Amino acid sequence: MTALKNDRFLRALLKQPVDVTPVWMMRQAGRYLPEYRASRAKAGDFMSLCMNPELACEVTLQPLDRYPLDAAILFSDILTVPDAMGLGLYFETGEGPRFKKVVSSMADIEALPIPDPEQDLGYVMDAVRTIRRELNGRVPLIGFSGSPWTLATYMVEGARPRTSASRKRCSMKILRRCMPCWTSSLSR
């Protein structure tokens, strides 16, 4: 493994002294960069961009080539794990992410598989390996996931919930049952 050339972010996480506050941005790779738009056009659509390890690496590194950031953020989507659980993620133009299947009963929850990272999310794992190789110790790589509540509301609604009433349908019973599955899936 290559030694980090810039470990400021990690030292700050460990509450160790740093010379300046580390900088990274949410949505670091995004629509504001013309090179991102070019990569997305090359991919054809958002999920194809996420599922192509080389393009995901390209997009992850683009902000680092422009700005003095202290960490890279993995380019992916928070809903890849529920997609790997068989819910069928797709993006509706102008609406955002949606699932073909929803979780509406305990039987649905009990039928959810725990995805194997290499088999079911291989494109994410390949992107991580590609990015780490290309970073060559430049900065740490940050991964991310949606919160359990966010994942649950998408899985129950099939799309981004629009009202607080619809979020309430995601009962604590469903959340409690899904937590071990998400914990296992996200910690691998």
What distance in Å separates the CA atoms of residue 82 and residue 86, rounded to the nearest whole number?
7
What is the residue whose two structure tokens read 């030694």? 3
Catalytic positions are: 27, 31, 40, 77, 154
* CA 35 to centroid of chain Cα atoms: 20
User: What DSSP assignment string belongs to 119-146?
Assistant: HHSHHHHHHHHHHHHHHTTSS-EE----
Cβ pair 96, 153 in contact under 8 A: no
